[in-house]
Amino acid sequence: MASDAQEQTLTDGFNLVLDALQLNGIENIYGVPGIPITDLGRMAQARGMRVFAFRHEQNAGYAASIAGYLTQKPGVCLTVSAPGFLNGLNALAHATTNCFPMILISGSSEREVVDLQQGDYEEMDQLAVAKSVAKAAYRVLHAQDIGVGVARAIRAACSGRPGGVYLDLPAKLFAQTMDAAAGKKSLIKVVDPAPRHIPAPEAISRALDVLKAAKKPLIILGKGAAYAQADADIRTFVEKTGAPYIAMSMAKGLLPDTHPQYAGAARSLVLKDADVVMLVGARLNWLLSHGKGKTWGAPGTQKFIHVDIDPKEMDSNVEIAAPVVADIASTMSALLKSMGEAWPKAASEWTSAVRAKSEDNIAKMAPRLQNNNVPMDYQGALGALRRIIAAHPDTILVNEGANTLDFARSIIDIFQPRKRLDVGTWGVMGIGLGYSVAAAVETGKPVLAVVGDSAFGFSGMEMETVCRYKLPVCVVVFNNNGIYRGTDTNPGGEEPAWTTFVKGSRYELLAEAFGGVAVCATSPDDLSRAVTEALASGKPTLINAIIDEKAGTESGRIGNLNPQSALAKKK
């Protein structure tokens, strides 16, 4: 009897971890089971939390990272120790690099054994390893500290510039017991996990002074702006300025890509000729040629306004004339308030020149997007997908590859915020299926993943995960028999060139293996029919889209980053 009464008043590490997550509104977990976390996942499911088991932790991690981006709540990835942890770590680094809130929770081995390096099961000093790529990293040793540990992880992931946080939970912690009432009291419901950073009034007026003086203003929206979920104010602000704007790839759709101010098709012109450039949640990194060099105007001819929550981002590559270190939502409302009713629109000589260039480029491209060539080229295949997204604008497009990425980014218009998810800051291959799973889970919207055949290989086995959870995900593999092109030959022998794959691979059979819909599409019309059907049925679908193996170019649009062999150059 006495022991019954005692059991009722005890709780343990397993329950406290789940209590702490749920108390903070975290109901979804992405991971791979094993010692010591198998029961944690079971108990989470028993409580009605949703636990998505993947075939590889990297994909679970990417899922968690994009869940964070889509919801502003940290996505949680759960892994076993050493190898499972390391598999998840790539995604944690990715989350930090891309400014997505995420928490990687890994079980770990016994501290005493790990620290003396006595060879425990999956021994590794995970905390030390995680620190170099995480925004923050914590270890919890005592059940009564779980509440604080989870709270710190959430706060670190979401506040300021979001990022990836590592939470190390040694196996022993899970079974530790404590008084249930005291356990409950030890939990923390994080109040205001991402506090607003209100811009200083002088920063706002300085920014508006610079903008007002511009003859050729340009606004650049980045994925930080999409993350901020200040969609209506961003749109009002852009429209009020009348300035041309471009959207970095994941910011596409903040305003519809068909917006008259959208200058995506006149990118080279606006980057070169603008006299004032306003960056909103976009870094001046390699994706913007660091704000200098031949992509941009002559040094000293362009002034920058930069809105970012991280003060260290200012002057990172070029001088920032008007830094606004604040959160984008607060900044947008402050800007709108200060602009008042009568804000002058950007000069029409500039806006009409940009518009003319855009329209010209769009018109030049249009006929190519209608082609029904067999084998398909990128324009024909993506033209078909472009029409489908235009007809189903709430579909989430996931996109990776080289040519498959670069062409899709420019060809497929996006109409709503956060509807395009891609390789991000690192240009990483392997996000495809992990992103697709989380996008479907977190939003309930249909997902269209457009992935190169190489890119697909990094996460393809998660097709089973898509089928198991019956998610409305349609994956289109752009199969050109290789990386960039399928035509390479090995100059030194019989073995295949290292950029090529088995010719005529039947990727669609992977869907068949798991009870999904499998289609081989050889023409844009085929592709169009298959994708339309997949979106209508919501059934897991894998389409093998046969692309002309000669159609792509080396490294897609970033061939200029390839180092050239010094010896070849000398010849």
Interacting residues toward ligand TZD by CB under 6 A: 401-404, 427-430, 452-455, 478, 480, 483-484, 552, 556
Nearer to ligand TZD, 383 or 552 (CB): 552
CB of 549 to ligand ADP, least distance (A): 31
- As to burial, measured by CB atoms within 10 angstroms (0-12 exposed, 13-18 middle, 19+ buried), residue 312 is exposed
Nearer to ligand ADP, 140 or 309 (CB): 309
CA distance 459 to 87: 12
Nearer to Mg ion, 401 or 434 (CB): 401
CB of 517 to ligand TZD, least distance (A): 22
Pattern 375-404, binding to Mg ion, x per CB under 5 A?
A: ------------------------------
CB atoms within 10 A of CB 560: 7
CB of 501 to ligand TZD, least distance (A): 8
CA count, 13 A, side-chain hemisphere, 499: 17
Helix (H) or strand (E) holding 468: helix 463-468
Closest-approach residue to ligand ADP (CB): 224
- In three-state secondary structure terms, 267 is helix
Q: Which does 287 bind (CB under 5 to 8 A by kind): ligand ADP, Mg ion, ligand TZD, none?
A: ligand ADP
Q: Which does 222 bind (CB under 5 to 8 A by kind): ligand TZD, Mg ion, ligand ADP, none?
A: ligand ADP
Alpha carbon dihedral 112, 114, 116, 118, in 10-degree steps, equals: 110
Can you name the residues that pair with 108 across neighbouring β-strands? 170
CA distance 501 to 382: 22
Nearer to ligand TZD, 484 or 507 (CB): 484
Nearer to Mg ion, 410 or 480 (CB): 480
Nearer to ligand ADP, 13 or 291 (CB): 291
Nearer to ligand TZD, 429 or 510 (CB): 429
CB of 552 to ligand TZD, least distance (A): 5
CB of 427 to ligand TZD, least distance (A): 5
CB of 271 to ligand TZD, least distance (A): 23
Nearer to Mg ion, 237 or 456 (CB): 456
Our measurement of the distance from residue 421's CA atom to the centroid of its chain's CA atoms, rounded to an integer in Å, reads: 5
CA distance 423 to 451: 11
Q: Which does 90 bind (CB under 5 to 8 A by kind): ligand TZD, Mg ion, ligand ADP, none?
A: none
Q: Which of residues 468-497 bind Mg ion (CB under 5 A)?
A: 480
CA distance 310 to 328: 11
The region that residue 424 occupies, defined by phi over 0 for left and psi between -120 and 50 for alpha, beta otherwise, is: left
The residues near 11 (Cβ < 8 Å, ≥ 6 apart) are 19, 143, 177, 178, 179, 180, 183, 184
Q: Which does 432 bind (CB under 5 to 8 A by kind): ligand ADP, Mg ion, ligand TZD, none?
A: none
Nearer to ligand ADP, 327 or 453 (CB): 327
Longest Cα pair distance anywhere in the chain, in angstroms? Answer: 89
Phi, psi of 431 (to 5 degrees): -80, -15
CB of 508 to ligand TZD, least distance (A): 16
Structural contact between residues 36 and 442, judged by C-beta atoms closer than 8 angstroms: no
- Tokens coding 533: 């059907």
Reported in sequence order, the residue ranges of 146-263 that DSSP labels E, i.e. its strands, are: 164-170, 177-179, 217-221, 245-247
CA distance 381 to 554: 19
Nearer to ligand ADP, 30 or 227 (CB): 227
Q: Which stretches of the chain bind ligand ADP, using CB under 6 A?
A: 98-99, 161, 222-224, 227-228, 248, 250-251, 281-283, 285, 287, 308-310, 313, 327-328, 425
Q: Which does 429 bind (CB under 5 to 8 A by kind): Mg ion, ligand TZD, ligand ADP, none?
A: ligand TZD
- By CB under 5 A, the count of residues binding Mg ion is 3
Closest-approach residue to Mg ion (CB): 452
CB of 283 to ligand ADP, least distance (A): 3
The region that residue 327 occupies, defined by phi over 0 for left and psi between -120 and 50 for alpha, beta otherwise, is: beta
The residues near 302 (Cβ < 8 Å, ≥ 6 apart) are 274, 275, 276, 277, 296
Q: Which does 282 bind (CB under 5 to 8 A by kind): ligand ADP, ligand TZD, Mg ion, none?
A: ligand ADP
- Tokens coding 519: 């289609």
- Tokens coding 140: 């919890």
Q: Which does 165 bind (CB under 5 to 8 A by kind): Mg ion, ligand TZD, ligand ADP, none?
A: none
CA distance 380 to 559: 23
User: Is 432 an interacting residue with respect to Mg ion (CB under 5 A)?
Assistant: no
CB of 461 to ligand ADP, least distance (A): 28
Exactly one of 120, 453, 548, 549 binds Mg ion (CB under 5 A); that residue is 453
Nearer to ligand TZD, 114 or 477 (CB): 477
CA distance 370 to 98: 35
Structural contact between residues 265 and 244, judged by C-beta atoms closer than 8 angstroms: no
Nearer to ligand ADP, 69 or 458 (CB): 69
CB of 420 to ligand TZD, least distance (A): 17
Closest-approach residue to ligand TZD (CB): 452
Exactly one of 452, 524, 540, 556 binds Mg ion (CB under 5 A); that residue is 452
Nearer to ligand ADP, 251 or 277 (CB): 251
CB of 455 to ligand ADP, least distance (A): 18
CB of 45 to ligand TZD, least distance (A): 31
CA distance 377 to 98: 31
Whole-number Cα distances in Å, 199 to 207, 208, 330:
11, 13, 7
- In three-state secondary structure terms, 430 is coil
Peptide bond into 496 cis (omega under 30): no
Dihedral sign from CA coordinates of 86, 87, 90, 95: negative
Q: Given the rule CB under 5 A, which residues bind Mg ion?
A: 452-453, 480
